[in-house]
Amino acid sequence: MAGDFLPIARSYASGAEQFIKRLGVGHGDTVLDVACGTGNLAIPAARARARVYGIDIAPYVIAQARLEARAAGAAVQFDVGSAESLPFMDGLFDATVTMFGAIFSSRPKDTAAELVRVTRSGGRVAMANLTPDGFAGHYTRAHAAVLPPPPETGSPLDWGEEGKVRALFGDSVSALTFARRSIELRFPMPPSAVSKLFATCYGPTVKTLEALRPADARDLRNEISRLVHLHNRSTDGTTTVPVEFLDVQARVA
């Protein structure tokens, strides 16, 4: 909820669109994008002629999502709400989706139950979850090393481990499949500028830096810069960072 997430969301918008294309939603489908951010999944789903709703906990993000949808000519109904208590009736959606969003909920078990509850029997829950490997894993652990999260919330990276996802969904799904994929964060700026962007726009980083002593905050900024430079694949003055994610496809029982 901290920082202006839009510049980061735009960096992987094309990968989000590919996620929706693989899902194959279209005319006649009802789709819910949980922790929708600025609409990276909701907007392409709406442009595929699905009936789409997006929900996020941050009012300013919802305002940005509405502007993004309007600019894209996509009809999406966006509202403020929590992934842990979705304001929808049981079995309303054909597909419930989330990309790098629901994994940050403070009550993972409740969130998994809600994703299933609002999806019809035979419908799908589709998640893109950051894994403990590669850039995302190193980046997240760098924060936890200087400011450990409360033990009861766990790590968002838990959603990137197949066994833990199976435990969260339990017998509420009739089928559960996984695929490891990669998405690219693409920025029209050098790694040094991207490092500063994360420090000012990425909520978990913003809040962590605010909570640290100046020396520790400086060390975290340096580690962020090191990681962005290390994982950057561009050589033309821009930045391209591949991020591995776990593609989760669950069929609701």
State the CATH number of the domain containing residue 85. Answer: 3.40.50.150
Query: How far is residue 130's CA from residue 152's CA, in Å, rounded to a whole number?
Result: 19
> Domain tally for the chain?
1
Judge whether 209 lies within some domain.
no
pLDDT in tens, 89-121: 999 999 999 999 999 999 999 999 999 999 999
Q: Report yes or no on 125 lying in a domain.
A: yes
Please answer whether residues 124 and 94 qualify as being in contact, where contact means their C-beta atoms are separated by less than 8 angstroms. yes
H or E stretch including 184? strand 173-187
Give the pLDDT confidence score for residue 25 in this predicted structure. 96
The DSSP secondary structure of 65-94, one letter per residue, reads HHHHHHHHT--EEEEE-BTTB-SS-TT-EE
- 15-24, 152-161, 177-186: which range is least confident on average? 152-161
| Start-to-end Cα distance in the chain | 33
The tens digit of pLDDT for each residue in 35-92 reads 999 999 999 999 999 999 999 999 999 999 999 999 999 999 999 999 999 999 999 9
Range of the domain at 181: 6-134+152-185+243-252
Q: What is the mean pLDDT of the chain?
A: 95
**Among 104, 196, 84, 213, which Cα is nearest to 149's?**
104
